[in-house]
Amino acid sequence: MNAPVQAVHLHRPYKQKEGGWSVAEVEALFNLPFMDLLHRAASVHREHHDANAVQLSTLLSIKTGGCEEDCKYCSQSAHYDTGLQAEKLMDLYDVLVAAKQAKASGATRFCMGAAWRQPKERHMEQLSTMVKEVKALGLETCLTAGMLSDAQTDQLKDAGLDYYNHNLDTSPEFYGEIITTRTYQDRLDTLERVRKAGMKVCSGGIVGLGENRTQRAGLVAQLANLNPPPDSVPINNLIRIEGTPLGGGDALDPFEFVRTIAVARITMPKSMVRLSAGREAMDEALQALCFYAGANSIFYGDRLLTTGNPQAEADRALLAKLGVRTMDGDTPRA
């Protein structure tokens, strides 16, 4: 019996919206009736991706704590007492053990996170070796380690790094409320260096920081107007860490989070939109809504950098319930 033909159009050519997205246009998407917004996002998603396939990435903290930045949401900032002890850069052996476990569990991309403002030159050889060795396992590689110089970017490119992650976090207008030790332009400059070097860009943000809807629209507009938009767009739902300035307060309304996923999909049709931090607190129905709205990538495994994540078995069970397959990289598996 032949398998049913699926009405999907993979790798459809993408043309950036002429003139870019204004914040008002993005906010107008946020303001659509919920069902209309989801229908539009799901339609865009099916035009550019297999709607029943999700890419799996695993994230490992290779250098935890002691970061010089003052990001008000972050457990790893040296500015706040969160009970997290600063650690040195992991040994290559331990990184490779984790990478092999991730691959055995079904992940296709291995993301390494280092809590630095910017890597020091003495770390670059170690980072390059990690990238080469993880890539040799047959995994896509991604690294997030703060700002980069031109020379550092070129060195990582030469090592074979596939993706570099550097989130914008929030809109330019709200940014100063969250971070004061690094400018918004610093972030944009790093992304420009990554793109110029020929690596893929992974960049997204965090919602639930206390921003309003206009400011959430400002973040999405910034991402969508990068030329081209990021290849991967992680959308994080703030995890409130005791000891940080944002450790208290109310959680973002779940429907607003789904709206954010949908608007990201509409404005960045070709990008992989990833459910990232905060997924542990989402029930299966909410995650399913996010997949329908256009999310097609998840962080997969037991931990993110310093916080929990839905366990791999629970993820596999959910995907099976939904009839969702996993991808080999960005290409759906047979």
Torsion of CA 304, 310, 316, 320, to 10 degrees: -130
DSSP letter for each residue of 20-43? ---HHHHHHHHTS-HHHHHHHHHH
Q: What is the rounded CA–CA span in Å between residue 202 and residue 125?
A: 22
User: Which residue in 71, 193, 216, 265 is the catalytic one?
Assistant: 71
**Cα-atom radius of gyration of the chain, to the nearest Å?**
19
Could you tell me if residue 257 is left (phi over 0), alpha (psi between -120 and 50 degrees) or otherwise beta? alpha
| Active site (annotated) includes residue 109 | no
Could you tell me if residue 134 is left (phi over 0), alpha (psi between -120 and 50 degrees) or otherwise beta? alpha
CB of 160 closer than 8 Å to CB of 128:
no
User: Which residue in 182, 195, 216, 274 is the catalytic one?
Assistant: 274
| Active site (annotated) includes residue 290 | no
The DSSP secondary-structure symbol of 164 reads: E
User: Which residue in 12, 40, 109, 111 is the catalytic one?
Assistant: 111
CB of 207 closer than 8 Å to CB of 257:
yes
Across 169-323, the runs of DSSP E, i.e. the strands, are 200-202, 205-207, 232-237, 272-275, 297-299
Residue 98 neighbours by CB distance under 10 Å: 20
CB of 45 closer than 8 Å to CB of 239:
no
User: Which residue in 40, 182, 202, 259 is the catalytic one?
Assistant: 202
| Active site (annotated) includes residue 74 | yes
User: Which residue in 40, 74, 187, 195 is the catalytic one?
Assistant: 74
Helices (H) and strands (E) in the chain, counts: 11, 11
Let me know if 254 is exposed, middle or buried by CB neighbors in 10 A (0-12, 13-18, 19+). middle
State whether residue 186 is helix, strand or coil: helix
User: Which residue in 142, 182, 195, 290 is the catalytic one?
Assistant: 142
Q: What is the rounded CA–CA span in Å between residue 214 and residue 212?
A: 6
Q: Which residues pair with 152 in a beta bridge?
A: none
CB of 247 closer than 8 Å to CB of 81:
no
Active site residues per annotation:
67, 71, 74, 111, 142, 202, 274
